Amino acid sequence: MVANEFWAEGEPVVDKAAPDGPVETRWERRKFSAKLVNPANRRKLTVIVVGTGLAGGSAAATLAEAGYRVKSYCYQDSPRRAHSIAAQGGINAAKNYRNDGDSVYRLFYDTVKGGDFRARESNVYRLAQVSVNIIDQCVAQGVPFAREYGGLLDNRSFGGTQVSRTFYARGQTGQQLLLGAYQAMERQIGLGNIEMNARHEMLELIIVDGKARGIVVRDMVTGEITTEFADAVVLASGGYGNVFFLSTNAKGCNVTASWRAHRKGALFANPCYTQIHPTCIPESGSHQSKLTLMSESLRNDGRVWVPKRAEDCQKPAGEIAEEDRDYYLERIYPSFGNLVPRDIASRAAKNVCDEGRGVGPGGLGVYLDFADAIKRLGRKAVEAKYGNLFEMYERITGEDPYETPMRIYPAVHYTMGGLWVDYDLQSTIEGLFVVGEANFSDHGANRLGASALMQGLADGYFVLPNTISNYLANGPFPAVSETDAPVVEARKEVEDRIAKFLSIDGDRTVDSFHRELGQIMWEYCGMERTEEGLTKAIGLIRALKEEFWTRVKVPGKGEELNQNLEKAGRVADFLELGELMCIDALHRRESCGGHFRAESQTSDGEALRHDDEFGYAAAWEYFGADGKPTLHKEDLNFEYVHPSTRSYK
Amino acid sequence: MDIKVRVWRQSGPTAGGKMVTYDVKGISPDASFLEMIDVLNETLILNGDDPIAFDHDCREGICGACSMVINGVAHGPEKATTTCQLHMRKFKDGDVIDVEPWRAAAFPVIKDLVVDRSAFDKIIQAGGYITAPTGTAPDAHAAPVPKKDADAAFEAATCIGCGACVAACPNGSSMLFTAAKIAHLGLMPQGQPERDSRVIDMLQAQDDAGFGGCTNAGECTTVCPKGIPLSLIGRLNSDYRKAISKR
Ligand SMILES: Cc1cc2nc3c(=O)[nH]c(=O)nc-3n(C[C@H](O)[C@H](O)[C@H](O)COP(=O)(O)OP(=O)(O)OC[C@H]3O[C@@H](n4cnc5c(N)ncnc54)[C@H](O)[C@@H]3O)c2cc1C
Ligand code: SF4
Ligand code: FES
């Protein structure tokens, strides 16, 4: 098998923190068995938290409230600007306020099934359990969720679920939740319990005596490199969707914090699991710097179509007669129609565009048409429901969706993979914890809509603060000093790398490499993957990496605000991650969740999973830039929700 | 389209700055304003020049990072639109466009178009929160909030903390930003216990951070990308008077 050329296989990885017994009681029992830290001792313990999104912000605030000393870092100028701010749709919680049959068990069930049976049951159950506390906590902080006339919280159904369990704040749920966590953080900063370091980027992890004890950071304003120490390190640095260059993520989202930890021994799990969102605004040209998500709710009333014949694609939509239009989702999936899950809608769009029937620039788009909805409900009603989205669309494209159908195309949106963690959210490096989108988490091979916000806040407010105490109870650990060999070495690695970037002085910009990497990833490791394509991509990425290290041009100095130097570090890490993603995708010869392997499909073109062969999480160990990554499997057992096949026909 | 941009270039916090003119040729009207600067920067880098530094992140009008004064207007000519959401089709071929950083005593320039807005965080630290330590919350339905109040609180809470209001204000005042937070929290029942101390402490922090006083010039609301209304400043003032009178 071609595989062994690319990877080696090692011992299975085992979650030693996993509790057993009935799933409903596992979290209670883990909390009870976890060691506690005496309140008087908490002052003596320092925790570094990298990231101030929902996961990091909530963790930092909660740990500080508990009495620990916290040092926080983010690359933006304020913790309030973390990428979580951009989440639109909502947050799930099993409150069952609608009395529509929802329950912790149902949310658990939906999440395991939605993740295509590639997540841990214990973790998912816990997530569903604490989801109810999140809403209570956020309301107490003053998060202005949407309410009904009676003054109670409103809920909606999201992403095709049969119950209404999604809480929301107009189209700005992430913003409001993040401001809640940010304000709680600022309160602790004001009280002197959190030391906030905005515009500071973590560039290396410091490990002393096998334990994560600190980080190397660069002050992004002065360029000063410092080493920071603590008793434990928490990474809350978000997802890595920007490996594709074009994604719905904020421009600065990156994998560096996770990747540096991976290089130092933390296993990276399921890197190939990415989520591609079907309703984004298509690219408009070579200047495109990112893609904008349009809320999924649009598919409730919009009808997706392309011309039946490729010759018609250049014509204005209005000139294409009804009988010449192919409402392909309604045709292929008569029972779910335009509301099929994200991965299915995305792949179907790609297929019709590959057939040459795409619309708009480059033929990379499909129509999302509201003409019928306007006829049926009236323009006013459509405006009331989607007015702000239509406005946003018009602002970006210059087209009026009331008159001409919207054009949409899939874009990378979320990454389910991330650093491997045990039930306590501890990575394979002792004392290194990972929360939020940065860990490989609870979503398996695919995430349900409105569940990332839930997971970020679950991890930060309720899970980590309870599990990290078990570790910190063994501290304070012996003091670390600037002159300890591992500290000197970590610092030197950072300084050498910066010096190297600045010295190459080649003839290509950092962005040009990033774009090219993104194209390779999108083409071969995007919606549909094949053995041939992935093998090719690995070769292309290796060549690109070599070229990067000889031809990149990074202007300016290290001792100043230097945005290209920041980007260079991130792209260098993305190049390594991209290769691992392709290797992971190559090794997984099945289709599951967000990962569709063309060789593994049913006779009618649907995803075909192989539970017997691939019913595990793939955790990869780093083996040097040129060595082979080593696969460690974590077997997944399903005691409650038994693997079944998804069907939307 | 072919345009010229005149951009404020300043190499560091203490360096002097000046406007420098650049030609940008063949830019697509569908490009965003920031994408136009991206394209210009790519050329500058390959020519051995220093690219223009500017703050941005989400490019979706929600994180509040982007911050350019375009032709004298904070966030540029399009109403209720952040710099990142402004597109080149709003300009004409041959235009000469001025691009400058936020200018205010409390927002010192760091480099080119990047300024230090940490003073905003200081205002929030002083009282822009509801004290609710994790784990202490009652059930979310324990206290219903009238929809009218919840909606009004939401409207105020949409402020993205960009600082355009400060940049537009002749006094460099942060009153609209502070008023938005006071209104958001003060409109909710949960926000009542700290209502008096909040307004007093936040206004004090605002003065301490070097923001100017409010003279009701109203420029702030004109440039605010989220349409935060001037009436919230009136609300803040009345909260302040009540709070002071109880002291
Ligand atoms: C457009 C969009 C809409 C979405 N809508 C929804 C939705 O409706 N519902 C839902 O559930 N999910 C949604 N998601 C997904 C969800 O928003 C994210 O998964 C989630 O917010 C991630 O939170 P986080 O705390 O893990 O990381 P982030 O919010 O990404 O925060 C990462 C933090 O890490 C910091 N950081 C990163 N690297 C470094 C470094 N090297 N050094 C220092 N600091 C660093 C950053 O500064 C930042 O503070 C959406 C995502 C997008 C892109
Ligand atoms: S009030 Fe408006 S202009 Fe001022 S910071 Fe908030 S969003 Fe920006
Ligand atoms: S870049 Fe986020 S608001 Fe403009």
- Give the CATH number of the domain where residue A321 resides: 3.90.700.10
A156 SS3 class: strand
Residue A361 vs residues A282, B26, B30, B230: alpha-carbon distances, Å: 8, 17, 11, 42
> What whole-number distance in Å separates Cα of residue A323 and Cα of residue A331?
13
In a domain, B60, yes or no: yes
Q: Rg for chain B (alpha carbons), in Å?
A: 20
- Domain membership of residue B222 (yes or no) is yes
Which ligand minimizes its atom distance to the CA of A78?
Answer: 1
| Residue B35, domain member (yes or no) | yes
Q: How many domains does chain B have?
A: 2
The Cα B180–Cα B213 span in angstroms is: 16
pLDDT at A3 (0 to 100)? 53
Domain span at A315: 277-413
- Per DSSP, what are the bridge partners of residue B177? none
Give the per-residue pLDDT at A2: 47
Q: Where are the alpha helices (DSSP H) in A115-197?
A: 121-141, 173-190
| Bridge partners, residue A509, by sequence | A553
Say whether both B89 and B122 belong to one domain: no
- Shared-domain flag, residues B123 and B106: no
Note down the domain range covering B235.
117-133+143-245
Closest by CA to A640, choosing from A104, A165, A96, A130, is A104
- What distance separates the 2 farthest-apart alpha carbons in chain B? 64
Judged by DSSP in three states, B246 sits in coil
Chain B residue whose CA is closest to A184: B129
d(CA A390, CA A155): 22
Give the residue among A72, A64, A70 at the shortest CA–CA distance from A47.
Answer: A70
Determine if the pTM surpasses 0.95. yes
Which helix or strand (DSSP H or E) is residue B3 part of?
Answer: strand B3-10
Q: How far is the CA of A531 from the centre of ligand 1 (A)?
A: 31
| pLDDT by 10s per residue, chain B, length 247 | 999 999 999 999 999 999 999 999 999 999 999 999 999 999 999 999 999 999 999 999 999 999 999 999 999 999 999 999 999 999 999 999 999 999 999 999 999 999 999 999 999 999 999 999 999 999 999 999 999 999 999 999 999 999 999 999 999 999 999 999 999 999 999 999 999 999 999 999 999 999 999 999 999 999 999 999 999 999 999 999 999 999 8
pLDDT of residue A340: 86
Cβ-count burial B191-205 (b if 16+ within 10 Å, e if not): beebbbebbbbbbeb
Q: How many domains does chain A have?
A: 1
Q: What is the pLDDT of residues B135-170, one digit of tens each?
A: 999 999 999 999 999 999 999 999 999 999 999 999
What does the block give as tokens for B237?
């003032």
Check A213, A342, A588, A609 and give the catalytic one. A342
- Residues near A233 by Cβ (< 8 Å), separated by ≥ 6? A47, A48, A50, A205, A212, A213, A214, A215, A431, A432, A433
DSSP H helical ranges for A353-484: 371-377, 379-397, 452-457, 464-472
As given in the structure block, the two tokens for residue A365 are 């788009």
Maximum distance among all alpha carbons in chain A? Answer: 76
**B9 plus B77 within the same structural domain:** yes
- Any idea what the CATH number is for the domain that residue B198 is in? 1.10.1060.10
CA–CA dist A264, A562 (Å, integer): 26
Q: Are residues B95 and B126 in the same domain?
A: no
Cα dihedral sign for B70, B75, B81, B82?
A: positive
Ligand 3 centroid to Cα of residue B16, in Å, is: 27
Distance between CA atoms of residues A308 and A428, nearest Å: 52
d(CA A176, CA A169): 7
A213 noted as active-site residue? no
Residues sharing a CB contact under 8 Å with residue A626, sequence separation 6 or more, in sequence order = none
B25, part of any domain: yes
The whole-angstrom distance between residue A105's C-alpha and the CA centroid of its chain comes to 24
Residue A105 lies in a domain: no
Kindly report the CATH number assigned to the domain that includes residue B101.
Answer: 3.10.20.30
- Is ipTM beyond 0.85? yes
DSSP string, A202-244: EEEEEEETTEEEEEEEEETTT--EEEEE-SEEEE-----GGGG
pLDDT along chain A (649 residues), means of 10: 78 94 97 96 97 98 98 98 95 96 96 95 98 98 96 88 91 96 98 98 98 98 98 98 98 98 98 96 95 89 96 94 96 90 90 95 94 94 88 93 95 97 98 98 92 98 98 96 98 98 98 98 96 98 98 97 98 98 97 95 91 97 86 96 81
Residue B57 is assigned to a structural domain of this protein: yes
Q: Does the CB atom of residue A52 touch ligand 1 within 6 A?
A: yes
CA of A79 to the centre of ligand 1 (A): 12
Same domain, B121 and B88: no
Quote the CA–CA distance of A535 and A582 in Å, as a whole number. Answer: 8
Q: Which residue, by CA, sits nearest to atom 3 of ligand 3? A: B61
Q: Which amino acid type is present at position A604?
A: D
B138 part of a folded domain: no
Q: Which atom of ligand 3 is nearest to the CA of B162?
A: 3
